[in-house]
Amino acid sequence: MKKIIGLMAGLLILSACSNIGEPEELVQETDEAEQETAIIPKYNISDDYYKMIVPFKTSSSRGLVVDNLNTRYDIDEFETGLMRMAQATFPTDTHFFQEGQYLDEDTVDTWLEWNDRDPEGLNPPKSEEEDQVILAHILEHNYLVKKDEKTIELGGIAIGLALESDSNNIALIEAKGKEYAKEVVRRMRGMEGLSKVPMVVSLYVQAPKSSIVPGHFIAKAEVSRGSSNIGKWTIVDEQYYFFPSPEAYNEKPDDANKFEILKGDIEEFFPNYTGVIGKAFYQNGELTQMKIKIPMQFYGKAEVIALTQYLTGKIMEYYPEQYLSVEVSISSTNGEEALIVKEPGMDEPFVHIYQ
């Protein structure tokens, strides 16, 4: 494993941005007949993430997401994005994450079937949709809360419905997704222990199988404690773009041009790099995250340091916004060479040269 040394920016100390305390050993109530010991870790690396209960209890439907979604990009975004969808309802400072414990593999597989093959299947008969599956996957997350000083219990559930992409008829896909969500909530309300738990339901549209960026969430809604009725749906305006690409130039021309200027700056002074690519994340039409990858031919550590120094200045020049997260990784055939990270609110970027 390569050692890491800091360059230019001050050392980023994990505890400086973490909430540190002693680990708590609590009792987790699973049902009337069973109690389990649960430990809440003492470190919280960021308010953007939930503390996760240990021992880590995996979902009995784990692995299905890999089989059912189109790309690795969708797998990652669907799971981490579902946590993001839940945070407004189940805040990270009062709730603890656990993988879903109620929807097992058999249940998820059955609900994803065509309903002419299985009456519990949610997808329409094959003959009506030309063998197209609309509902690709159902993902469950559990959120635990403290019942008292020594006990934690289930405090909320997030349900994500992954839908197949259809750019020609997104309205139909969304309408179908809302129908499926209503039925999934009704069925889960009938499960033992879930009759009164508040829920968040979110709709995710996958990217095509050929895509090099993930899909995105399009809507979410809350289900109140003890209710089976889904509340008002809220539009979720999120989108990923690949730079450079025709889509980025057509739909985000200002950011595409800025990226092209950065690319030109690197070309002018460093002939041994082999390309620059970026993945941009937009929320409500605004760029909030940019991840840039730069592969280079390796001719010595001095060149790596020079390129990293140069890029750090350019990142602060072109992406100065305080709300914007930027990550630049430089690599060669030898592996990772350098990392530049600018997080929201940071006055100086965090820079590493890998040794």
The pLDDT tens digits for 1-12 are 443 334 333 333
- Compute the half-sphere exposure of residue 334: CA atoms within 13 Å on the CB side of its CA: 14
Residue 60 is encoded by which pair of tokens?
A: 């009995």
Shortest CA distance to 188 belongs to which of 151, 160, 147, 167?
160
CA distance 355 to 5: 7
Buried b (16+ CB within 10 A) or exposed e, 147-156: eeeeebbbbb
The phi, psi pair for 327, rounded to 5°, reads -135, 125
Tens digit of pLDDT for each residue in 233-271? 999 999 999 999 999 999 999 999 999 999 999 988 887
- At residue 176, does pLDDT exceed 70? yes
Claim: this prediction has a pTM higher than 0.75? yes
Residue with tokens 């993945």: 279
Residue with tokens 């994803």: 112
Structural domain contains residue 5: no
Where a domain ends, among 185, 219, 236?
236
Rounded to a whole number, what is the distance in angstroms from the first to the last CA of the chain?
9
CB atoms within 10 A of CB 25: 10
72 plus 160 within the same structural domain: yes
38 plus 142 within the same structural domain: yes
186 plus 326 within the same structural domain: no
Structural domain contains residue 255: yes
124 plus 267 within the same structural domain: no
Tens digit of pLDDT for each residue in 121-173? 999 887 654 557 799 999 999 999 988 878 889 999 999 999 998 767 889 89
Structural domain contains residue 4: no
Number of domains in the chain: 2
Q: How confident is the model at residue 224 (pLDDT cuts 50, 70, 90)?
A: very high
Question: Which domain covers residue 284, as residue numbers?
Answer: 241-354
Residue 332 is encoded by which pair of tokens?
A: 């060669």
CA distance 267 to 261: 10
228 plus 307 within the same structural domain: no
